[in-house]
A and B are shown apart, each in its own frame.
Chain A
């Protein structure tokens, strides 16, 4: 049994201009201790999917369908009170922009101590001591002073460490890291990746690592899901995906990574732009941009199992 099973998840936004199908019939699972990468261009629905796992986007416009089974309990039908006990405790999340994901008027100490304050019956003093411990665990020097500082007083990389410390405070079983490295410098990116890997080993938390940067995934993930237009188009282990991509979209994503080990004339980019989710075509969503397209691609392809844990959504296999 997998730790988290996502079954037929669909997320639809009912805007007055029309429906937007941000996530379409997504199935996957995360095993204990696994680092699962989710990759795709911006607007492919990966972030919406991540947020919907914890039901963080349930406003009036948004419809969630399917099942999200966490230890066999469905998060989508759970009561809000029950869900609050899971959020931050068993599943937690860190966000893209470390500048805006921390409250500017509260001290770092309070924000890191907060999970302890709400999920355990620790005293305030103990919670702050634990917070201090967490802050030094994510590699921030001088934790005692940092506790009393405010987010604007520390650097972006440090802020992201704080956000991760906050998310990992209660040693959750799953950490959802939504583009946590995107807003950071390359060197800081590498540090954060190392940090996540280390924490994954030490705490044996599963990590769902979301990014649009395929190159980054190879450094950290065990398994990768490629998303396009709200659907999974390919899922495979990192090695398989990297050495033998099946889906044309994955192939072109890999080709657009600059590499120094292979002699290549120029960097390829994928022609066209991300599809408009309000106006999906009947056939394959990648049809317009695909260089292998055939007539059969005008009907939508199914996700086929093509290996032990390999899936691909393409007619041209």
Chain B
């Protein structure tokens, strides 16, 4: 077997030490009736070159242009991020249960918690979640722990549909009713159409900003006394837009140095107020000292966690998303405030330049509320355009038929498109005039 260096002679010596005659003797505790009888097998072993050649042969060329976001955004990833995060010491280490030999990972989590606190404007953050969809669920579950007597959560209908599906799954098993707050068909903003008492009595009022249609939301319309959860799926927006006041700000960090990779693995984040720290899910790293008084870091408040608290834990999370958190930390360090704000402005401006070009060919933006780098465009004036572009390997956003918005497309741009704007606009106009 490729990944073992033990020789037959060594195996014999080991068997002699154990005092058995064959490896099969070591499996005597497995009853005969339980043994594998199936002859079905999996393919392999394949040598490295053969395996890579087979993968290469199966590849399909990607789209030439893909102006697609919808919760996952292709941003530029600096070479330094890929290189540093590929180091063995990060990749092949375990959860830092032994702090003396894990100070690197622990310091990274402390930096992560600090960056997330700064970006969200919250008092503290945990050490990351699986992804945005599960972070959003955990926020509602924490609110429910704090408000155990209620069983209804008010959720914006402009929440990412994948997140909403995940939330519905969990809430069903918590016997919590998910009540949708509609969105204004002209502005794209969520309508808080329930009275103040109902809001205050709910587990939480949950909004996404920018929402799933790209529109920037506000929590100003939410009644005092309500538990406000704000979800952010495009983390780059945080460089320019401070999240509105909320008890929890959570979401997805994929935009900060993590590849899209089909939606996973990425890194979720969860930030809240200090008063809620003991109800918070997930891992938390704290600063302390060693026995000589030297600054040191370790996992803390583990009494909330499953490996100590078992059925009374605040969450069942064990392995989370460490390596993806690392990517976001290295990325954020490298860009700093000014670098993050620069790419965020480039993404937002690319989107505006492209929208202007679409408007010139007669298309209209569907919602009037302001946006960051993603917007919905009504293509009914040129119903063939998106299909023609797609045939040329140019994906003009995400179709929104499933949202009850036929001929509408959700279009996202990032700094990656910034140097290509003239060519993209020219291509769209050429196809528009041909139709």
Interaction A to B: no
Chain B positions within 8 Å of A, measured between CB atoms, are none
Chain A positions within 8 Å of B, measured between CB atoms, are none
